[in-house]
Amino acid sequence: MIKSFNTLFVTMFGIGKIKMIPGTVGSLATIIILFILFHALNISSNLILLVLIVIFIYSFSAVASHTKNSENKDPKEIVIDEFIGQSIPIYLYEISHGTEKSTDEAIIFYAVCFVLFRFFDIKKPFPVSFFDRNFKNSFGVIMDDVCAGLYVVLSLICFMVLSSYFI
């Protein structure tokens, strides 16, 4: 029973089983889920943070359990790591400045986060590549996407700082 739940969890309830580009589909599903939570349902950012922390912590055990008897410690069907990494810049955007964001602004920002996250997750600049290459376990599976998410945040901060000099 727990193995079945872990499989559902790490594949985001089957999204990871999609044959073509499961990581991209998982990232896209993440931005849709978070958009609905923040903008359609107006769920408290504190509650969303609590859920994200629980998902982050549980994912280490779930990924380890899912890959326990497998040679491949980072199979493509595991997309919970994309959910975690993609959630970082979106959550930080949503809580930033304590201001209300328009739907149009949010959609543009979510799209930018999606593109940047996929870029960093695919290209794997250091330290993303470090975790991907050196940790063949649940820690590596998750932390390379956490780093990719943090790269998105860093890129957006750099863009905001630079744009403030030109505007």
Any idea which residue has 């403030």 for tokens?
164
Q: Which residue range(s) make up the domain with 17?
A: 2-166
pLDDT at site 20: 92
Report pLDDT for 68. 86
pLDDT of residue 24: 95
- Given this model, what pLDDT does residue 98 score? 63
13 sits in the region (left: phi over 0; alpha: psi -120 to 50; else beta) called left
For the chain, residues with pLDDT lower than 50 are: none
Q: Is the peptide bond before 127 cis (omega within 30 degrees of 0)?
A: yes
pLDDT reported for residue 45: 92
Number of domains forming the structure of the chain: 1
DSSP secondary structure, 4-22, as one string: HHHHHHHTTTTGGG-SS-H
Handedness of CA 71, 119, 103, 56 (dihedral sign): positive
